[in-house]
Amino acid sequence: MTLLNHNASRLTQLFPIVGWLKSYSRHEFNSDLFAGIITAILLVPQGIAYAILAGLPPQLGLYASILPPIIYALFGTSRTLSVGPASIAAIMIAGALTAPEVSALGNPVQSALILSAESGIIMLLMALLHMGGLVNFISHPVLTGFTSGASLLIIGNQLPQLFGLKAPSCGIDAICYGQYLSGIAPVTLAIGLTALGLLIFFGKPLIHALKKIGMQPTLITAISKCGPLLAIMLTTLAVSYLDLTAQHHVAVVGQVPAGLPALIFDFSPIEKWYVLLPYSAFITLIAYVESVAIAKVTANLRAEKIAPNQELIALGIANLSAAISGGMPVAGGFSRTMVNFAAGARTQMAMLIAAAILALAVIFFSPWFENIPKAALAAIILAAITPLVKLKDIALTWRYDRGDGIAELATLLGVLVYGIEEGITLGIILTLVSHLRKTSQPHIAVVGRIPGTEHYRNIKRHNVETWLHLLLLRVDECITFANINYIEDFIKSELRQQPDIKHIVLIFTSVSDIDTTALEVLENLNHTLQAAQITLHISEAKGPVLDKLEKTDFIRQLQPGKAFFHTADAVKELSKAGAIH
């Protein structure tokens, strides 16, 4: 069972590539070669398109498609994730580069490289702090709402390209798109629709037709995945031979420098690092969470395992390599990964092959990219992004869990109305708060002694001895800011019901932590109780909890209350002193 195999050697842990390379077969290579070529066919236009979407020169997307996937192949735990420029990261980069405080500093290419470097460093720091588990703290509804919202923003951003309208100048939000609805350029629109039509036709309709005539599945895959290449080639040829740029102002990619990028090691000025930090933080978060989510989809289909912390390392180094090789920030791309998987990729060898093809394309074919019409690229972005808009999912979530549904809808609307960062922040806060509300009522048991023993059990479930002046309470969870008020209210309500209580013992058997807020509330509660002639004690506090409390004044403040080792000790001592009956 693949699921349960677990090769834990250090080398394989750091370089997962070693794991599969040891037993790599000719058969797997054939599959990977095919998938690598197919993915490369998509990677070229996507690299250019996402760079333009981010507001950057096309080569930043191409360069991000060479070194970063090679690095990821060495360090990443997913066998099919296609790392490179990604649509949602691209729109976030566009947002960062057009923010007033960033654009005021000029040189967007430099800013983009600093974003790559900063994201890489943040990911490596997170890996160092073992924060890979953070990915678990963004709930699926928030992620889906966010992805849908960001995708809608991208669609809104790309439609003007498809219609030949001017690129948005008023920022990335839902409101400003209205002004573009006048002045459609018919030739550009024809190009865009031709490309879009080809992409749609090469999807289900063609596959269905080829299956009907009994073609071999591998061949069907090969042919159907050539839609993007064909769309780009046909429209580029049309632009070149009909001179559409000069005669009909069809927007094209423009010059792409030939050859591999020179390595860059100068990332000054430091001021930009400061201004870009909040943007890199959000790009990092989303790049990481989306990459792991995509990686998990394909890993689940083949019962492979994704190691979140190792992914942080892999994506972190990949982003650093993007910065050094002149590329925009990278992440796992949804549509490319799906194409890679569907084309039969068995391992990251497929992406190594794709990266090699990209490198050759950049060296030998970059003059050919000049006349690629932006409208055709817009069609490719639209085809890649549309499956990410899952509005139906909101209805399903809403029906299943109202709180999750609200969070999903709020995230989507937040992204559309207030922007990417604001939307995801809102979503995260809503989920966390709703989660806290669910978990902020810990189990608290009033306990008594099982006669003749030293066992103390819940008075609701067992026949136990209790004392008129003594309240024994067992709190069954960590005591934190989220539940201390519930605990305080519980104690006060018990005291209202039992007005003769003079001593309270809090039993900490299950308490493995007391945070700062809880400690302060307990201190205040103790003062209030002392004013009412009630003494607070604690018992059975574990070592780490006691160590923490001893750093503070709390136990001294309890006096005459005490910290007992066992609950039985408390009962014995209080009985002896005649304090309880």
Q: Which residues form the interface with a copy of itself (CB under 8 A)? A: 1, 3-4, 6, 100, 133-134, 136-141, 278, 300, 303, 397, 399-401, 403-404, 418, 422, 425, 428-429, 431-433, 435-440, 477-478, 480-482, 484-485, 492, 495-496, 499, 513, 515-517, 519-520, 524, 527-528, 531-532, 548, 551-552
In the complex, minimum distance from the CB of residue 78 to a copy of itself, in angstroms, rounded to a whole number:
15
In the complex, minimum distance from the CB of residue 67 to a copy of itself, in angstroms, rounded to a whole number:
31
Which of 210/450 has CB closer to a copy of itself?
450
Which of 454/465 has CB closer to a copy of itself?
454
Which of 454/513 has CB closer to a copy of itself?
513
Which of 133/452 has CB closer to a copy of itself?
133
Name residues whose C-beta falls within 8 Å of residue 566's C-beta, 6 or more positions apart in sequence: 454, 539, 540
Three-class DSSP category at 252: strand
In the complex, minimum distance from the CB of residue 33 to a copy of itself, in angstroms, rounded to a whole number:
27
Positive or negative, the CA dihedral 129, 117, 72, 49 is positive
Which of 138/359 has CB closer to a copy of itself?
138
Gyration radius (Cα) of the chain, Å: 31
Q: Check: CB of residue 540 under 8 Å from CB of residue 507.
A: yes
Structure tokens given for 361: 């394309």
Structure tokens given for 532: 């009412």
In the complex, minimum distance from the CB of residue 134 to a copy of itself, in angstroms, rounded to a whole number:
7
Which of 231/487 has CB closer to a copy of itself?
487
57, 59, 60, 63: CA torsion to nearest 10? 180
In the complex, minimum distance from the CB of residue 407 to a copy of itself, in angstroms, rounded to a whole number:
9
Establish how many alpha carbons lie within 13 A of residue 544's alpha carbon, considering only the half-sphere containing its beta carbon: 8
Three-state SS for 494-562 is HHHHCCCCCEEEEECCCCCCECHHHHHHHHHHHHHHHHCCCEEEEECCCHHHHHHHHCCCHHHHHCCCC
Which of 314/534 has CB closer to a copy of itself?
534
The region that residue 98 occupies, defined by phi over 0 for left and psi between -120 and 50 for alpha, beta otherwise, is: alpha
Report d(CA 87, CA 49) in Å as an integer.
9
Which of 63/393 has CB closer to a copy of itself?
393
In the complex, minimum distance from the CB of residue 305 to a copy of itself, in angstroms, rounded to a whole number:
8
Three-state SS for 316-385 is HHHHHHHHHCCCCCCEECHHHHHHHHHCCCCCCHHHHHHHHHHHHHHHHCHHHHCCCEHHHHHHHHHHHH
In the complex, minimum distance from the CB of residue 214 to a copy of itself, in angstroms, rounded to a whole number:
29
The DSSP bridge pattern shows strands 470-475 and 503-507 to be parallel
In the complex, minimum distance from the CB of residue 174 to a copy of itself, in angstroms, rounded to a whole number:
12
Q: Check: CB of residue 289 under 8 Å from CB of residue 73.
A: no
Going by C-alpha positions, the residue among 378, 431, 377 that lies closest to residue 143 is 431
In the complex, minimum distance from the CB of residue 428 to a copy of itself, in angstroms, rounded to a whole number:
7
In the complex, minimum distance from the CB of residue 528 to a copy of itself, in angstroms, rounded to a whole number:
5
In the complex, minimum distance from the CB of residue 125 to a copy of itself, in angstroms, rounded to a whole number:
13
Going by C-alpha positions, the residue among 540, 491, 535 that lies closest to residue 511 is 540
Which of 129/258 has CB closer to a copy of itself?
129
Report d(CA 192, CA 378) in Å as an integer.
7
Long-range contacts, stretch 40-43, CB < 8 angstroms, 24+ apart: 40/353, 40/354, 40/357, 40/358, 40/361, 41/225, 41/226, 41/228, 41/229, 42/225, 42/228, 42/335, 42/336, 42/339, 43/82, 43/84, 43/336, 43/354, 43/357, 43/358
Terminal-residue alpha carbon distance, the chain: 62
Which of 243/547 has CB closer to a copy of itself?
547
Q: Check: CB of residue 77 under 8 Å from CB of residue 313.
A: no
Which of 179/240 has CB closer to a copy of itself?
179
Which of 199/289 has CB closer to a copy of itself?
289
In the complex, minimum distance from the CB of residue 391 to a copy of itself, in angstroms, rounded to a whole number:
15
In the complex, minimum distance from the CB of residue 513 to a copy of itself, in angstroms, rounded to a whole number:
6
Which of 291/397 has CB closer to a copy of itself?
397
Going by C-alpha positions, the residue among 45, 20, 77 that lies closest to residue 373 is 45
In the complex, minimum distance from the CB of residue 153 to a copy of itself, in angstroms, rounded to a whole number:
18
Report d(CA 387, CA 573) in Å as an integer.
69
Which of 372/409 has CB closer to a copy of itself?
409
